[in-house]
Structure 1
């Protein structure tokens, strides 16, 4: 009896060891599959390979490879659609710019003539409104055209070392008359010493102006504009602060989308959003980024993070 118990115990131990080896081999194969999936998704290429004899795992790998093929195909189609849309936007913008520019010229002539001859007041008002609408349309079309160029990669960046403190100070000075007239409280915290960063100067100027324009246009309720330049170990922060209506948290990630307009609960902020979309794309093109934090009706801060 003791002999039989010993045999049973030995068999159980052997069975346990064999099961443990199977589990270990299964974990090893699953980890290999996991690593291959992660690599394939990151590189958008390749399929899963396995030498297992397990039929369920073979079927699993087959299903995963089918999904990966569908994913790769979707990525290619998405890229083609994006490129097509960018080309369409470029073509439409280009086709509209010329007639709008010509129309703008005619409106300017009418405005000039209306100031020299006696015209009914309502006609003068209409001409003035038309002038504003045409100029806004031309500006909007130019923004669409520029954004399409940026997103398609047609913009070439001339990256060099520039003194960001000097550049910020120079741009802010250009806004002082406007800010003074509008009754803004302006707080500038820009170091006197130079801080050099690698940027495209034209793109940087546009980013700074776009964000300041945005702060003035949508933060006008608070009558406050703060500009701060902070130097970190590996980055430089250019901070733009206003005390206007602000942005709800659910809106933060969407404000850089070119087609996005804020919800009805925030109508005062409603706009085309192209200025911020252009700024975000330009910043990303220079290997930097723009982040936003906002406490509605209290403080909104745009942070342009630039690598040294």
Structure 2
């Protein structure tokens, strides 16, 4: 075989190989484009119909599989955000409905007494007392509503400083001494004599303890018991507020801190009767870098525990 013939066959083989490579690249690009068009079409369908579907693609191309996986991650995140928004929207509507009801009730009493005073032309101290009490209830509800709104929007900046938790605990119990005595409560306090410090806000911690103690008096009164224990470990300070009343079923233990939690099977209408108090207490604790948890065995022991970070000396 001559050199010219060999050269011809070599050139022919090279041309064929180049043709095969170009054909494979064409098929590959066409296949990729087809699959990308399918992905794009599916995404458009999911967006237009607001469905919960995922992008499904069958290919051996690792890059396309990774792209589909990342798209599905975004779709899952979108669904979670959408679900959270819907829950928040429902909770907001429920909150506005309940607040409207809670405002309407005392306002009806106020307007009723004013009408009696207008018709009869008389004004007794009892009537004025009722009007004042109901007016204060309305103001307290409005104040709690705006406090919660500011906390959840992040507009409430708490100034942190070194505070003595033991002193605040004792002061909080003393604020309720007369009420507890008049209602025959047994009060057990276990608070160290020596100071225990946290980096916190005195007014915020006082508000938390006020809400928790109020909750005991309002909903744990059957047990006639209030306990407050302050304990520490290397990193944290714990304040336990305990009663022995009817408690809260374990099914609702995680729900009591939700806005306007009013389950009839729990101690319903938590702090101060409008479903906002425990939510405010939990949000304040979070603002202080801590949290509040609940453990409850009905008619035996119900304990709210405030956990705060211990201050290093």
Please say whether Structure 1 and Structure 2 have the same fold, judged by a TM-score greater than 0.5. Answer: yes
Aligned equivalent of 1:153 = 154
> Any idea what the Cα deviations from partners look like across 1:278-300, whole Å, max 9, x if unmatched?
00001011110101101111110
Distance 1:179 1:86 in 2: 34
Aligned equivalent of 2:274 = 272
> Any idea what the Cα deviations from partners look like across 1:246-296, whole Å, max 9, x if unmatched?
011111000000132123465586943211100000101111010110111
Distance 1:231 1:255 in 2: 25
**When the two structures are aligned, how many residues end up with a matched partner?**
250
Partner residue of 1:67 out of 64, 72, 86: 72
Which runs of structure 2 are paired with 1:1-308 in the superposition (5 Å)? Answer: 55=60, 57-58=62-63, 60-74=65-79, 117=122, 131-264=132-265, 271-308=273-310
Distance 1:210 1:198 in 2: 21
Distance 2:107 2:298 in 1: 42
Change (3 A) 1:198 1:165: same
Check the 8 A contact 2:261/2:269 in 1, yes or no: no
Q: Secondary structure at the match of 2:151?
A: helix
Distance 1:231 1:273 in 2: 30
Aligned equivalent of 1:17 = none
Structure having the higher Rg: 2
Distance 1:191 1:241 in 2: 17
Q: What TM-score does the superposition give when structure 2 sets the normalisation length?
A: 0.65
Q: Secondary structure at the match of 1:305?
A: strand
Task: Name the stretch that deviates more: 269-278 or 242-251.
Answer: 269-278
Q: What TM-score does the superposition give when structure 1 sets the normalisation length?
A: 0.66
Distance 1:102 1:262 in 2: 25
Distance 1:179 1:130 in 2: 26
Change (3 A) 1:232 1:57: same
> Any idea what the Cα deviations from partners look like across 1:38-75, whole Å, max 9, x if unmatched?
xxxxxxxxxxxxxxxx7165554233222222244456
Aligned equivalent of 1:18 = none
Tell me how far 1:242 sits from its aligned partner. Answer: 0.4
Check the 8 A contact 1:160/1:199 in 2, yes or no: yes
Structure 1, unpaired ranges of 5+: 1-53
Q: Secondary structure at the match of 1:55?
A: coil
Distance 2:199 2:116 in 1: 45
Tell me how far 1:135 sits from its aligned partner. Answer: 3.0
Aligned equivalent of 1:41 = none
Check the 8 A contact 1:111/1:127 in 2, yes or no: no
Change (3 A) 1:298 1:223: same
Q: Secondary structure at the match of 2:223?
A: coil
Change (3 A) 1:83 1:157: farther
